Amino acid sequence: MKIIRVLPSMDFGGIERGVYDFSKKVIQLGHKIIIISSYGKFLPELMEKGIKWYQVNLDKKNLKTFINGYIKLKKIIKEEKPDIIHFQSRFPCWIGYFVMKKFPEIPYITSIHSFSPFPLYTKSTGKGDLVIVVSKALKEYAIKKLKVPENKIRVIYNGIDIDEFFIDREFEKKDIWKIGMIGRFSILKGHYYFIESINILIKRKNENIKGIIYGSGSKSLKKIIEKWIEEKNLEGFIEIVVGKNSKEIMKEIDILVVPSIEPEGFGRVIVEGMVSGIPSIATNIGAVPEIIENGKTGFLVEPKNSLQIAECIEKLIKNHYLYIEISKNSQKESIKRFNLDKMVNETLKVYEESIFLKKRK
């Protein structure tokens, strides 16, 4: 099968990482992969493995980029004659919607990866012959907000490279518990509630803890987060670390907290933590309850509820057997449900289904 994947860029990010992981696996199965995108750090390794790349700058949303993208995509599709094309992200999906009218014989897929407050602009992600969503929560969103017909939607959870994140943990007693939060600096990620949960624990005399905020992005918000830490006199208990990838982070922390206050389409960092054997505490919104079974593979808390976060952390650091049980359960379940092979096989089945349906018309 000759597959074209179209996305804004191949720099580090959730969609980009998914295409990178998928492409590495699929080329081993004998399929041909072509990536159309702006440049990114994932590309050199993929090109060494024989994946073809066309540079079409789709990471700037303006009329000039749209027109250039349309012209170049049309030319590439005509030359390559792919079996299927998969568009991701809203802007490339709009270009794809108009380009594919010129190639009615070629099936195309679109993906929905996140919730958006702008459903009209996001409708492009539901225009494919079939539409892949990365959670059941996004399926409901696609039906209700984007008006995508239910019979077009296929749910495929993101898969991660198990070998990359698996840690055979040793459950020794700890002098200091490292509580980590990972995510870009954004109000929506809930940093304030993480900081407040650490503050509650310190006030309860749990002084054998260290909060670590791993982040990147907005410098102004980073300063606000630093101010929150100072105001609560927590400089000795919380630090901010910039520039580490999640694989490195999972080797350092004992508990993961994901206190987002807005729903997310999946929850990749939670799954990476689970595969690493790290108990997670996360907000009970969006796709998170599809990943974590409360009390068995992690803990679910209500949005903006620092007290609940603190209580869950306290349960884990004070009950060694509970910590081990959650760690083992989450690792076992995540390996079964969110492995890369499962995602790749399910995606290829959707491609095959789309090709079959197109030929039948």
Question: How far apart are alpha carbons 64 and 67 in whole angstroms?
Answer: 5
- Domain holding 89, by residue range, is 2-159+339-360
Task: Give the model's confidence band at 253: pLDDT under 50 very low, under 70 low, under 90 confident, else very high.
Answer: very high
Q: Residue 114 above 90 pLDDT?
A: yes
Q: How far apart are the first and last CA of the chain?
A: 20
Residue 141 φ/ψ, nearest 5 degrees = -60, -45
Claim to verify: residue 183 and residue 271 sit in the same structural domain = yes
- Number of domains the chain is built from: 2
Is the distance from CB of 157 to CB of 134 less than 8 angstroms?
yes
Task: Give the model's confidence band at 172: pLDDT under 50 very low, under 70 low, under 90 confident, else very high.
Answer: confident
Q: Residue 13 above 80 pLDDT?
A: no
Claim to verify: residue 350 and residue 284 sit in the same structural domain = no
Question: How far apart are alpha carbons 160 and 343 in whole angstroms?
Answer: 8
Mean predicted confidence (pLDDT) in 185-194: 94
What CATH code is carried by the domain that includes residue 64? Answer: 3.40.50.2000
Claim to verify: residue 65 and residue 169 sit in the same structural domain = no
Claim to verify: residue 283 and residue 198 sit in the same structural domain = yes
| Burial status of residue 2 (CB atoms within 10 A of its CB: 0-12, 13-18, 19 or more) | middle
Claim to verify: residue 188 and residue 311 sit in the same structural domain = yes
Sole residue written with tokens 């694989």? 247
Claim to verify: residue 225 and residue 204 sit in the same structural domain = yes
Claim to verify: residue 172 and residue 258 sit in the same structural domain = yes
Q: Residue 355 above 80 pLDDT?
A: yes
Mean predicted confidence (pLDDT) in 226-244: 95
Claim to verify: residue 179 and residue 327 sit in the same structural domain = yes
Claim to verify: residue 185 and residue 292 sit in the same structural domain = yes
- This prediction's pTM: 0.94
Region of poorest pLDDT, from 86-90, 118-122, 296-300: 118-122
pLDDT tens digit sequence for 23-47:
999 999 999 999 999 999 999 999 9
Q: Residue 345 above 90 pLDDT?
A: yes
- Name the CA radius of gyration of the chain, rounded: 22
Task: Give the model's confidence band at 216: pLDDT under 50 very low, under 70 low, under 90 confident, else very high.
Answer: confident
Question: How far apart are alpha carbons 189 and 225 in whole angstroms?
Answer: 12
Closest by alpha carbon to 134, among 286, 256, 23?
286
Is the distance from CB of 79 to CB of 106 less than 8 angstroms?
no
Mean predicted confidence (pLDDT) in 261-275: 95
Question: 331: which residues sit within 8 A by CB, 6+ positions away?
Answer: 166, 274, 275, 276, 277
Residue 153: how many other CB atoms lie within 10 Å: 21
